[in-house]
Structure 1
């Protein structure tokens, strides 16, 4: 029978079965899909054609706008130019490995590894369709790339930064939340007054502000673990109250002077001078101005979040508690930060062990003490 394709064309497709009833059942399923306007890819579909269908029909409706944008950019910039013309069911491990190695040489190994992950997700979705794809070759291709979880600051540097931010920017409360609670930048920009209970010192993260094709809007969080309530540190209360008073004062001044003012119906905590919700890009630029004025090293908003986790590690907080504060979906993400931050402790422990093993008298003393305890037992 002839079935519609994702690119709008129509192609012939065969249905096979061990019996007439099995084959007829598959034929009827294809007919039902065609009558409902659902495309059925054929075995000669190229990866480029599948990418178009996968992004628009599967990724865009099911994933967040940020994920769709990242997948689309990876397909457009890296996958389509290199393997887009390949027939999907004929893609081999050797040619895919060669394409990814060239990508790693032209760009970076990290870029190539991310491209393999995106391709793997696309092929996994293709295996669900009845097009004859029986294996995901992307899962058999591995690209070695150094894990770079980003830089973080120690406690002294964080205190220096916060002291400078308090003097230099009205968004000091936002940086407090980034450093003390490890909020994500999109969560800080999407924070609303309805999500904060200043009297009981509790904060809820219900949405994040993301740039989409429809503009910059508030979207739901990726996982339910990110919506857990957080205790609001005491030193955040006064700055947040001041922020609310400042917003009211800016509104009254703009209205009295006939200047434009945006009445935010959602009541975002951090707004600009005209009342519009603060963008992550503006918060990043403010961060860079404070860093430059104080003479600190390079840092971004994600690094402030990681600095929060690093400081919690040095305070000997259990990884599961850190996971709850940073609201990681997987404990492995927390353990990556935990392991990296504990490097000085590991070095100190190895040094102590080295000193112990270089003291034969001390070892004999420990052995004697153990013998005495066993005899007493």
Structure 2
């Protein structure tokens, strides 16, 4: 049965190879959406109609069931389809089935999520209104470089380096918090425990490892901040709370971002990740080529042409980040 294979797949294929949060996500999709809808079908009998049935089961819901099952989004259906496709790929590799039946089915049409983006003027107002030196730097790293939340919270002193005479951030880790049932890390995954539930872990993909040149004024501000903190060790976090511990996403950064929005009199629903969308939009508006944009942002979706034939130099990226700073009227 499909359900039996999915249980084995999670245990033998997913858990040993992927980080705990990813395993937990796959497990949730399998147990909440795939198995209840079509888990009783035999693997070799899977047909396109079963994939359609799974999509209908997810998106239509069932108000008459006990308890009532609410309809879910097309994005959830798409996630279930992709997860099942991966599981069936591994079934083919194991010789359990001859081909992946998902290849003969049509994926759900997923409606793209609306992403909130601030304008350049709003980003400038938010940064200008911030009086705390640490959070001022945080917002600059967010809006000018498009750094992910975990990358900023997990930034260590030794990630700030001079390369070819240019101050750069060498991104090689991110801060994440793991509950007790999420700490069964793969054997080949390099992790560093900080305190409480916080760990420094590698980026999810190879594209997450990258070098980001800093615009001049941002470099000066960041280096001065590190110097003012005193005798820091190379592996110390650059940004910490008043208690000397790591900053937390929900308890620290998110309320400070909300306060920054209020101080700048910016209305609307924005979260710290909105700054990354804003940076990506600014790069598009500036006409920066895709290889430069993806090198700065650490996006995984780099085309074959960009990957094989295009070399993005430090000078190219410095020019790009300086143009973003100028667009925000910071440099």
TM-score, normalized by the shorter chain, greater than 0.5:
yes
Alpha-carbon distance change, 211 to 127 in structure 1, aligned in 2, over 3 angstroms: farther
Pick the structure with greater CA Rg.
1
Alpha-carbon distance change, 327 to 93 in structure 1, aligned in 2, over 3 angstroms: same
2:29 aligned residue = 74
Query: Which structure's residues are more often helix, by fraction?
Result: 1
Q: Answer yes or no: is the 8 Å Cα contact 1:228–1:327 preserved in 2.
A: yes
1:61 is paired with a residue whose SS is coil
1:15 aligned residue = none
2:115 aligned residue = 150
Q: Deviations over 1:182-203 (max 9, x none)?
A: 1111111221100102684111
Alpha-carbon distance change, 210 to 276 in structure 1, aligned in 2, over 3 angstroms: same
Query: Mean Cα displacement is larger for which, 110-119 or 58-67?
Result: 58-67
1:171 aligns with 2:135: yes
Structure 1 residue 278: deviation in Å?
1.8
1:284 is paired with a residue whose SS is helix
Q: Deviations over 1:240-297 (max 9, x none)?
A: 2454356449xxxxxxxxxxxxx99931111122222223333223212222343322
TM-score (norm 1): 0.66
Alpha-carbon distance change, 73 to 291 in structure 1, aligned in 2, over 3 angstroms: farther
1:180 aligns with 2:144: yes
2:315 aligned residue = none
Q: 2:201 aligns with which of 216, 219, 223?
A: 219
1:210 aligned residue = 176
Alpha-carbon distance change, 312 to 128 in structure 1, aligned in 2, over 3 angstroms: same
Q: Answer yes or no: is the 8 Å Cα contact 1:104–1:112 preserved in 2.
A: yes
Higher relative contact order (CA 8 A, sep 6+): 2
2:255 aligned residue = 285
* Whole-angstrom distance in 2 between the partners of 1:290 and 1:273: 18
Query: Mean Cα displacement is larger for which, 302-311 or 282-291?
Result: 282-291
Query: Mean Cα displacement is larger for which, 213-222 or 185-194?
Result: 213-222
* Whole-angstrom distance in 2 between the partners of 1:115 and 1:285: 33
Alpha-carbon distance change, 169 to 91 in structure 1, aligned in 2, over 3 angstroms: farther
Q: Answer yes or no: is the 8 Å Cα contact 1:264–1:276 preserved in 2.
A: no
Matches within 5 A, 1:262-301: 266-281=235-250, 282-296=252-266, 297-301=268-272
Structure 1: segments with no counterpart, 5+ residues: 1-45, 250-262, 336-377
Alpha-carbon distance change, 132 to 313 in structure 1, aligned in 2, over 3 angstroms: closer
Q: 1:121 aligns with which of 63, 69, 86?
A: 86
2:311 aligned residue = none
Structure 1 residue 142: deviation in Å?
1.9
Structure 1 residue 77: deviation in Å?
2.2
* Whole-angstrom distance in 2 between the partners of 1:71 and 1:219: 19
1:218 is paired with a residue whose SS is strand
Runs of 4+ residues deviating >4 angstroms: 245-249
Alpha-carbon distance change, 97 to 168 in structure 1, aligned in 2, over 3 angstroms: same
State the aligned residue count: 274
Q: Answer yes or no: is the 8 Å Cα contact 2:157–2:234 preserved in 1.
A: no
Query: Mean Cα displacement is larger for which, 119-128 or 139-148?
Result: 139-148
2:124 aligned residue = 159
Q: Answer yes or no: is the 8 Å Cα contact 2:134–2:239 preserved in 1.
A: no
1:136 aligned residue = 101
Structure 1 residue 69: deviation in Å?
2.6
